[in-house]
Structures are given as C-alpha cells and as structure tokens.
C-alpha cells in the first residue's frame, strides 16, 4: 500500500519532520489507544489533533501498531513504505447479501456478527451483536457497531439499538450519539 492508495481510501495526512501519520475517521473504532497513549501527539482538543513530531518516534509507532481498526498508519520520510502493513489475520467485515447481517472475520474464521433490519424509510434497528469470547477485548464488537453506523450515515437513517451492547457503544461514543433513535417514554 502506498500514500496515493491511502489518500484514495479517505485517509488524511498529518505531516511531520521525520514521520507522516495518516488517519481514517471512517475506519476508527474510537478505542482511544492513541489519545490515552500519547496526549502530546494525539490531542482531540486542538487542531490539527495529530502532531507527529511531539513524541518519541518509537512510542508513536508502537501506539499506531496497537490501533485495532487500523485507522492510523505512518510513513517515515526516508521510506515509501506505509506501516503497519496489512496482515491476513486482521479483522475484516463483510456484509451478507441481504445487507442485514455483518460478519467480523479473522482470516477465514468468522469471529462475530451484528444483526439489524431496516424499519420504514429512516430507521435501522440493531437486534443482536455477538463476538466469540476468545476474541473479547479486541474491539471487534465496536467495529461491528461502526459498520452499522456507516450504513446509517450512508442511508441517512437513525439507529434504534435494541441490543444492549450496541446501545452502550452508541451512547458512549460522542460521534455516534446523533444517530441514536430513542423511543418515546
């Protein structure tokens, strides 16, 4: 993967003297590893929120490698190579033909899913999210919810999270809250 391909995929470039950092909001699962790891480099309270030169390179590279969604990548100025490189065991998401179920996969193994359906013209209803316990703590469930958020944004719909896990994720992440449809009391 090169810089041109990253930019075509919607990544934004944050320039530094020795390293450039790339970020994709569309992929971000809001795990917070970056901002908890180095608040000098990653700081949501300023613009730009990423300043590559403010932290030790090795530490910044380590944090970027830990990003579960791969929304963060970097390139050293003396190289054309983008890191981290894709790995066949990374989590990927695939929609079923009906568009009502999204699977999370590692390699060829399905490790979780989220089920939802369309209600009328303006609502997506999430009914179930499940992740194999062997993969807990890897933010796979968050990634599944993010995939439904993407569908809701593409189709200009609100989300009714009947599933308790999805409801917790949507209410916890400020960028998702505007999509939540609340039932009247």
Sorted by where each starts, the structural domains of the chain and their CATH numbers stand as 3-76 (3.30.70), 91-177 (3.40.630.30)
Contact 12, 22 (CB under 8 A): yes
pLDDT of residue 97: 64
Q: Is the peptide bond before 48 cis (omega within 30 degrees of 0)?
A: yes
pLDDT of residue 89: 64
Per residue of the chain (185 residues), give pLDDT as tens.
789 888 888 899 999 999 999 999 888 888 889 999 999 999 999 999 999 999 999 999 999 988 888 899 999 998 888 988 766 566 777 877 666 888 888 877 789 999 999 999 999 999 999 999 988 888 899 999 999 999 999 999 999 999 999 999 999 999 899 999 977 76
* Residue linked to tokens 């944090």: 63
β 158-161/12-14 pair status: unpaired
Q: Is the peptide bond before 128 cis (omega within 30 degrees of 0)?
A: no
* Residue linked to tokens 């969604």: 69
pLDDT of residue 28: 86
How many residues make up the chain in this entry? 185
Structural tokens at position 106? 């590692």
Helices (H), the chain: 3-8, 33-37, 57-66, 140-155, 164-172, 174-177
β 109-119/101-106 pair status: antiparallel
Separation of CA 91 from chain center: 11
Residues with Cβ within 8 Å of residue 64, at least 6 apart in sequence: 21, 34, 72, 73, 74, 83, 84
Report the alpha-carbon distance of residue 81 to residue 112 in Å, rounded: 32
Residue 144's beta-bridge partner residues?
A: none
pLDDT of residue 1: 77
């Amino acid at each position: 993967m090169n810089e041109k391909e990253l930019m075509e995929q919607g990544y934004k470039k944050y320039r530094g003297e020795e390293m450039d950092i790339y970020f994709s909001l569309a992929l971000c699962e809001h795990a917070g590893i970056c901002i908890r790891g180095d608040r000098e480099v990653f700081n949501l309270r300023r613009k730009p929120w990423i300043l590559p030169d403010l932290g030790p390179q090795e530490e910044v590279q380590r944090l970027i490698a830990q990003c579960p969604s791969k929304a963060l990548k970097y390139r050293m100025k003396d190289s054309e190579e983008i890191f981290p490189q894709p790995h066949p065991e990374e989590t990927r998401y695939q929609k079923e033909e009906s568009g009502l179920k999204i699977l999370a996969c590692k390699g060829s193994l399905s490790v979780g899913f989220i089920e939802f359906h369309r209600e009328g013209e303006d609502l997506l209803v999430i009914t179930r999210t499940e992740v194999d316990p062997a993969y807990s703590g890897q933010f796979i469930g968050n990634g599944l919810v993010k995939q439904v958020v993407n569908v809701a944004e593409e189709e200009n719909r609100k989300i009714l999270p009947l599933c308790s896990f999805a409801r917790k994720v949507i209410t916890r992440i400020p960028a998702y809250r505007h999509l939540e449809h609340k039932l009247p009391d």
